[in-house]
Amino acid sequence: MVVLSIRDLRVSFPLRGEVLKGISLSLKEGEAILISGPSGSGKTTLLRVIASIIPDVIKGWVSGAIKPKPRELKAEHAVLYIPQEPWYTVVTPYVWSEIASFTDLKRNLITKYLKEYGLENFENRTTFTLSSGEIQRLNFIVSIGSNKKLLLLDEPTSHLDPGNAIKVINGVLKLKRLGKSLIIIDHYIERWRSVVDEILFLTNGTLTDINGVKDPYVKWRALIKSLRPPEDVGEVICDVSIKSFSYPGSDFEVLKDVVFEVRRGEIVWIKGPSGCGKTTLLRLIAKKFRSREGYVRVHGKTIYVPDNPLLYFSEPTPEAEVLGRLDILSKFGLKELSRTPIMKLSTGERRRLAIASILARKFDLALLDEPTIGLDPKSKYEVLKSIVSLAGEGVAVIISSHDEDLRFISSWVYELG
Amino acid sequence: MAKALIKLVSLILELILRALFIGNDAWYKHSSIALNISLAALIIAMVREANLQVLFYATAIIIALHTVLRTLKLFTYSLIMSFIPSLWYLVTTLPFTQSIIESAIISLRVLVTSTSVLTAIFLWNPMELSYLLHKLRLSKGITLFAPFLWKVIPHVLKDVKDSILANELKGEKVWKGLAVSFLSVAEYSSNYEEALYLKVDDFKPFFRYDSRVISLILGFEVLVINYLIFKYFII
């Protein structure tokens, strides 16, 4: 049975012009289609149209035939849309309340599905502390309990380490077996090849079948692999010795026996699964932690860039943020955006701008939290290259991340958890 | 001075975040809003009388409640937070009372009042409020408000902490960090609007009560009511 049929779909926006130029596809019950393509090619636009977000929430012109019509799908409660940043889909404070308030599942079934999707013992967890992969799987349970026919997943593995990505992919397999149909957008084609029924490539607003074709990001992945950390390192900038750390009022020991030194020009990768204390460690270094349980000594100026790079900025434009140093913006490929409001920059551009600002403001130690999260391989390459340039200028860099690609630019790795 | 202020704000944010939002769901959070509010109101009625003995009884009741609920940490947090308005009243009433003892009693009344209100908030059941609004047939947007607030506030507080830290390290003014947090919240709202567009229609709030916390709070209310009857009608 055909769940969704699209013929000659065209979408345009007032300022961007035509984004989708005659898309046609068909999706059967229990089928999954993967759509890949470069950033800005219209992948998310396609999902937004099917979810009727365009034109109901985001204004745009839509023409062509979609059967059933997106507004009919909405009225039937037949679709679940999970955007790239899945934490925006969760509304209630606890895992049990999210499932119980959006489905008709009884307590015993909630427990059963939580176990099936690897979330046993999560029933009373606060949703604020869930990782991206855990939220994806929570949404899968909601889709089962609320009888959704069609799931639209926008880059479901982009924020995940390989282990959690496998859990989400296995979750998709289980959904297919239950007869759910899925449209998945992702840059990681190889991860999905054995799971999906069809792979399509969207470029410049048109779809092509690339079943059996190689990864279109192969060039950027090769460039990432070619990156190396600077060879010249200088004096010790940061000295960390933490015997134990727990948050005030908590008995849970977040960090234990963390001892290392970082030298000027080194790139250190703090690696570990979600919740192992990577961000906590960066924040303790930023605050020059000192207690009976340990210390952090920093010989120089320190800066911290949160996982949401917007929170780092203090000026409205890139030019002001780098204190007028256009040469530095040029070095990081941002000169043409020098007067663009920071709010209008993409996440990748914001991350590169934060790195440029660190150089312009002459910091000695940069603490970067998840600098590559959610980026496509091209943007990731540009960010990683910027980090290597920063270290090349003599800045010590400590990165907290679960992204395995950081191994190419790291001088050494410190594993937590 | 500015650094001390930043540290104080950070500490308070951390305490609010940990006490209200970070902790997992627990049986003592499955109380009734009406019971929580009435307990706080009864304790406030109790401390209307400005004497040390009454203040001692009221404090003992709050401590006893937290002891049986095994939430003494929450009591400590609420006490720390309550010290701020309490200290403010101590200082600002002195010129009017011209007596350190009178001002201290006012300050202690504020401390007990604030602690009892915070206790009611710590035991708050946002899903119950959502259910009640749903039963009143209010719009989905209003029904979603309470649980959504509980879900969103920790995100916002985390952002505020991150931007304050980044801007402090950059040597920038604190307000710049707060302004950036505001922009990030504006960005969130459009992301939430998009992500929840389809999902909101499915929302049917569901809540759970726990008989243990309900009976304990009721027990303490009976105790306070007995005291008030004894004090105002029998003596």
Above 90 in pLDDT, residue A400?
A: yes
What does the pLDDT read at residue A214?
A: 60
Give CA–CA dist B60/B224, Å, rounded. Answer: 11
The distance of Cα B125 from the centroid of its chain, to the nearest Å, equals 12
Peptide bond into A68 cis (omega under 30): yes
- What does the pLDDT look like over B133-169, one tens digit per residue? 999 988 888 899 889 988 888 888 888 888 888 998 9
DSSP A214: P
Give CA–CA dist B201/B215, Å, rounded. Answer: 35
- On chain A, the residues whose CB falls within 8 A of the CB of B191 are 83, 85, 88
Return the higher-pLDDT residue of A168 and B6.
A168
Q: How are beta strands A150-154 and A181-185 bridged, if at all?
A: parallel
Q: Cβ B191–A83 below 8 Å, yes or no? A: yes
What does the pLDDT read at residue B164?
A: 86
- What does the pLDDT look like over B105-133, one tens digit per residue? 999 999 999 999 999 988 888 899 999 99
Confidence of residue A344 (pLDDT cuts 50, 70, 90): confident
Closest Cβ opposite residue B181 in set A79, A94, A311: A311
Report CA torsion sign: A71, A74, A76, A78: positive
CA atoms within 13 A on the CB side of B39: 33
What does the pLDDT read at residue A238?
A: 95
What does the pLDDT read at residue A293?
A: 86
Window 16-35 of A, Cβ < 8 Å to B: none
- What does the pLDDT look like over A227-259, one tens digit per residue? 999 998 999 999 999 999 987 666 778 899 999
Closest Cβ opposite residue A93 in set B150, B176, B195: B150
Give CA–CA dist A181/A191, Å, rounded. Answer: 18
Closest Cβ opposite residue B180 in set A103, A127, A314: A314
Question: How close B117 gets to chain A, by Cα (Å)?
Answer: 20
Question: How close B44 gets to chain A, by Cα (Å)?
Answer: 27
Question: How close A213 gets to chain B, by Cα (Å)?
Answer: 32
Q: Which of B24, B79, B193 to mutate to test the interface with A (most CBs of A within 10 A)?
A: B24
